[in-house]
Structure 1
Amino acid sequence: MTLMYPELAPIAFIAAFSLGLALPWHWRARNVATLSIIFWLFAVNMIFAIDAIIWAQNVEVVALVWCDITTKMIIGSNFALPSACLCICIHLEQVSSVRVVRSTAADKKRRQLFEAFMCFGLPLVFMALHYVVQGHRFDIIEEYGCRPATYLSVAALLIVWIPPIILALAALVFAGLALRHFMLRRITFAAHLDASHSALTTSRYLRLMLMSVIQMVWSLSITSYILWFTLMAVPLRPWTGWADVHSNFSRVDTYPILFVPQEVLTSYYVSWWILPASTFIFVAFFAFGREAVDEYKQVFRSFRRHVLRQNPTTSQSTKSGRGFGGISLPSFRTTPKEPQMTSMTSFKPYPTPSPPTPTKYRGEFNDIDYDDTHSETSSSFGPALSYQAPTVVDLAPATPSTVTPSQSSRAPSGLPTSPRPFTYPSFDASHRNISAV
C-alpha cells in the first residue's frame, strides 16, 4: 500500500530549513516579530514533517507526550502568526506617520517587550484556554499525525476560531494605514525614515508590509474556509457543562484514511498547506533581498577562507587584474603589425640641457668674461649637431651690449654642453634616432 500524500514530509522539511536563509539578518536586527514568525513556522513545519513520518500508513497510539506538546503548539501558532503580522504592521504605521519624530532606545525596548508578549505570551494564554474546549486528549489522523481535539461549540468559536480572524483583520487595517502614509510621502519617504532614526529602508518597509498583507489574506481566506466547512460538516454542540465536555478526557480518537470521507480529507489537506505555504511566502520576501545576498556572500567568503584555505580578496584581485586596494593596473599590449610614432615619453631618461651662458654675466659672475669660439660642437652620442646660440641681451641697463648671431656661448668648465638644440624635440631627419641614445 502506497502513501496517499507522500509529499507531506519532504515539503515540511524543505519549508522548515529554508527559513535559515532569512534568519541571520533578522537575528542581527533584533526584530522580535519577524523572529517569532521564523520560530513558529520552523517549529510547526518540523512537527508536520515528523508526524508524517511516524504515522505514515498507521494510526497507532504512540508518542503520547510528543502529541500533548505538539498539539498545543499547533494551537499557539494559529494565534502567533497573525499576532506577529499585526505587530509588524503597527510598527510600520508608526514609523511612516508623523506622530513619531524619532525612535529612541527606550522606545525600541518598549516595542520589543510588547511584541514579545503578543508573539509568545498571547499564544501561551490561548494554548492554556484551549483546555476549556478540549473534549479529549487529541486525535491521530493517518499520514497527518496527531492533531488537537476541540469540542465544537460557541465557546470554541470564541476561544479558537474568532481571535485569529480578528488579529488578521486588525493587521490588514494597520497595513492599509501604513500604505496610505507611504503614498502621501512617497517622494520624501527615504528621508523621512532616515530622520526617524529607523533601521528600515524603503525596500525593507515595502517588503515587510507586502509580506504581512499577503500572509494575512492567505491565512484569513484558509481559516474562514476551514471554519465554514467545519460548521457545515459538524453542527455546533451545546455546552452541557465542564464535567460532560471533559468526560473520558484521556481517550485518543484515531482516523484511518479509508474511513474518512473525501471531503474531510480535502479539508485536512488544505489546512495542512497553510503553514508550508506561509513559510514559502516569508522566505520569498526575505531570502532574496540585498541584505540576504550580502549574507550569502559573507558566508561563501568565510567558507573559502576557513575551509578551502583561500583568500577570496587576493584571488579576486588576481583574476580581475587589480592591485592593492582595488586599483586597476594598466595592461600594456604592443601590436607589431604597423610601426607607430614614438612619443616623447618613450625616450630614455636624459639630463635636461642647461641654457647657454651669456657672454657677460652680471651678478655672481660679474667680473668674469666668457668667450665661446665654437660655433659647432660634435657629440660622441650621435652625429654632429649644428648648434647656434640665440641672441642674448645683457640685462645691465648701464652698458647695454648685444651678441651677434655669429657668436656662440660656451659654458664654463664643469658645466655640460648639451648636444640638443633648443627646438627639442627636433623633427629633422638626422635627429630621429636620438631615442637610440
Structure 2
Amino acid sequence: MGTRNHIFSVFSFIGFALVSILLPFHLRAKSIGTCAFIVWTGLLCLNGFVNSVVWNDNVVNWAPVWCDISSRLAIGGRVAIPATSLCITCRLHSLLRLRPRVNSTRRRKNKKRFIFWMDLFIVLGIPVLSMVLAYVIQYQRFIIFEELGCHYSLYNTIPAFPLYGIWPVVIGLITAVYAGLIFRAIIQRKMRLNEFMQRDWRIGSHQCWRLTGVVIAVFICSFPTSLWYLVEDILLGPAQPWPGWKVVHASNSEIAQFTNEMWQFGNSVALYEWERWCYVVYAIIFFTLFGFTTEAKKNYRLAFRFVFRRCTKKSLSQSFFLDPNVGSSVANLLFWLTGPKDQSRSTCLHFLLVPPSGVFTVRTR
C-alpha cells in the first residue's frame, strides 16, 4: 500500500468513527438535515475506507456486488452532501422569517408533517433519484481503479449534463441563495436567535452558528469542485448526441480495470483523490464544530461510564475464581467513585458497607 493510500485509509476510518459518535445527540434533537449529513458522510467515509483497503495494489474483481453498491453510493453521495446542506439551510431560513406562530393544533401538525416529508425528500429522495437517473447513461457495470476501488462509469453524452453533471451545481446555488437570506435576516432584523431556535427547533444560537458553519464549509468544498467537474466534462471532448438506449447499454455488463499507471496522469489524480478525500474533510469539520460542546462531552462521559460498568462487572465477577458477589462489590465501589452524584451512590455505598453473606468465600475447582 502506498503512503498516500495508507494515510487515506486511516483518516477515512477516523472520519467514519467521529461522525458516528455524534449521531445519537442529533437524533434526540430531531434534526433531519444534520442526521442525514452524519449518515451520508459516515457511509461515504466507510465506503472509501473499504475500497482503499481491498483494492490496494490490485484491480481484481473481488466483490462484484459490493462494487455495484459502492458505485451507486458514490453517485448519490456527490448529490447527498449538498442536499443535506440545503435542507439545513431551508430549516434555518424558515425559522428566522418571523412569521406568527400557528395557533391551531391541526394546522401546526400538518405543517410539521409537511416539513418532515419535504426534508426527507431533500436528503433521501433527491440522492436516490440521482442514482436512478444516472443508470440512463451508464455504459459499463463499474470501474475498478487501483487504490481507489470501485467507481461508476458513465457515457459522455449530452443528456449526461441534466441527468448527472449539473445537480450539485444547482443545489449549491440554491443553498447560496438561502444562506444569503439568512444572513440578511439576522443583520437587518437583529433577531434574538436563542428565542426562535429554542422555541421551534430545540437548539440555541451557538448551535445555529455551528450549523451555519457546516453549510458554509460544504459550499466552499463542494460547489467549486462540482463546477470544475462540469467544466472538465465539457472540455474533455465534444459530448456525443444521444445514440439510443441499446448503444449506451450494449456494454453494461462489462467491468473496466485501471492500474495506477493507467489513471494517474494530468488532472485526473487531483479530481479522483478529492472525490474521496472531501468526505473525510466534511467529517473532520463537523466533529470540530460539534464534538467539543458541553452536551457532547456529557454524552462521552455517559457512554464511558456505561461501557466501563458493564465491562468491570462482568470481568470482576468471572475472574480469579471468586464468588460473583466479590466482583459485584468491587464494581459497586468503582461505580460509586465514577458514577453520578445522586441517590444511586448512597445505595451503592450501602452494599459496600454491608456486603452480602459469603462475599469473601473463595471458590475451589
Say if 2:262 is the partner of 1:262. Answer: no
Which residues in structure 2 correspond to 1:246-285 (within 5 Å)? 246-263=249-266, 264-285=268-289
Would the aligned equivalents of 1:58 and 1:256 in 2 still touch at CA under 8 Å? yes
Say if 2:206 is the partner of 1:223. Answer: no
Would the aligned equivalents of 1:304 and 1:312 in 2 still touch at CA under 8 Å? no
User: For structure 1, which runs of at least 5 residues remain unmatched after alignment?
Assistant: 325-437
1:20 is aligned to 20
Say if 2:57 is the partner of 1:57. Answer: yes
Which residues in structure 2 correspond to 1:160-309 (within 5 Å)? 160-186=164-190, 188-194=192-198, 196-263=199-266, 264-308=268-312, 309=331
> How far apart are the structure 1 equivalents of 2:114 and 2:228?
36
1:149 is aligned to 153
Deviation at 1:88, TM superposition (A): 0.8
> How far apart are the structure 2 equivalents of 1:215 and 1:300?
31
1:45 is aligned to 45
> How far apart are the structure 2 equivalents of 1:271 and 1:81?
12
Aligned CA distance change for structure 1 residues 105 and 292 (closer, same or farther; 3 Å): farther
178-187 vs 46-55, which moves further: 178-187
Deviation at 1:192, TM superposition (A): 3.8
1:84 is aligned to 84
For the residue of structure 1 that corresponds to 2:159, the secondary structure is: helix
46-55 vs 220-229, which moves further: 220-229
Deviation at 1:257, TM superposition (A): 0.8
> How far apart are the structure 2 equivalents of 1:276 and 1:100?
41
> How far apart are the structure 2 equivalents of 1:156 and 1:17?
35
Superposed CA RMSD in Å reads: 2.7
Deviation at 1:9, TM superposition (A): 1.7
Deviation at 1:209, TM superposition (A): 1.4
> How far apart are the structure 2 equivalents of 1:213 and 1:312?
45
> How far apart are the structure 2 equivalents of 1:217 and 1:4?
24
Pick 1 or 2: higher relative contact order, CA cutoff 8 A, min separation 6: 2
Deviation at 1:170, TM superposition (A): 0.8
TM-score with structure 2 setting the length: 0.80
> How far apart are the structure 2 equivalents of 1:281 and 1:235?
38
> How far apart are the structure 2 equivalents of 1:5 and 1:303?
33
For the residue of structure 2 that corresponds to 1:139, the secondary structure is: strand
Q: Percent identity?
A: 25
Would the aligned equivalents of 2:8 and 2:277 in 1 still touch at CA under 8 Å? no
1:372 is aligned to none
Letter of the structure 1 residue corresponding to residue 207 of structure 2:
R
Deviation at 1:316, TM superposition (A): 7.4
Say if 2:136 is the partner of 1:132. Answer: yes
> How far apart are the structure 1 equivalents of 2:256 and 2:3?
21
For the residue of structure 2 that corresponds to 1:146, the secondary structure is: strand
Aligned CA distance change for structure 1 residues 270 and 234 (closer, same or farther; 3 Å): farther
Would the aligned equivalents of 1:21 and 1:292 in 2 still touch at CA under 8 Å? no
> How far apart are the structure 2 equivalents of 1:147 and 1:36?
23
Once the two structures are superposed, residues 122-175 of structure 1 have per-residue CA deviations (whole angstroms, 9 ceiling, x without a partner) of 211221111111111111111101101111222111111112211111112112
Letter of the structure 1 residue corresponding to residue 226 of structure 2:
T
> How far apart are the structure 2 equivalents of 1:197 and 1:95?
7
How many pairs align? 320
User: For structure 2, which runs of at least 5 residues remain unmatched after alignment?
Assistant: 313-330, 347-365
Greater helix content: 2
> How far apart are the structure 2 equivalents of 1:200 and 1:71?
36
For the residue of structure 1 that corresponds to 2:5, the secondary structure is: coil
> How far apart are the structure 1 equivalents of 2:116 and 2:334?
38
Deviation at 1:94, TM superposition (A): 0.9
185-194 vs 124-133, which moves further: 185-194
> How far apart are the structure 2 equivalents of 1:171 and 1:87?
9
Letter of the structure 2 residue corresponding to residue 258 of structure 1:
E
Would the aligned equivalents of 1:82 and 1:167 in 2 still touch at CA under 8 Å? yes
> How far apart are the structure 2 equivalents of 1:79 and 1:59?
27
> How far apart are the structure 1 equivalents of 2:309 and 2:60?
50
Deviation at 1:202, TM superposition (A): 0.6
Deviation at 1:93, TM superposition (A): 0.6
Once the two structures are superposed, residues 211-244 of structure 1 have per-residue CA deviations (whole angstroms, 9 ceiling, x without a partner) of 1121122111222223333433344233222222
Would the aligned equivalents of 2:197 and 2:208 in 1 still touch at CA under 8 Å? no
> How far apart are the structure 1 equivalents of 2:262 and 2:6?
19
Aligned CA distance change for structure 1 residues 234 and 100 (closer, same or farther; 3 Å): farther
TM-score with structure 1 setting the length: 0.67
2:112 pairs with one of 100, 108, 113: 108
Aligned CA distance change for structure 1 residues 78 and 100 (closer, same or farther; 3 Å): farther
Task: Please identify the structure whose Cα radius of gyration is greater.
Answer: 1
For the residue of structure 2 that corresponds to 1:6, the secondary structure is: helix
Aligned CA distance change for structure 1 residues 268 and 191 (closer, same or farther; 3 Å): closer
> How far apart are the structure 2 equivalents of 1:268 and 1:23?
28
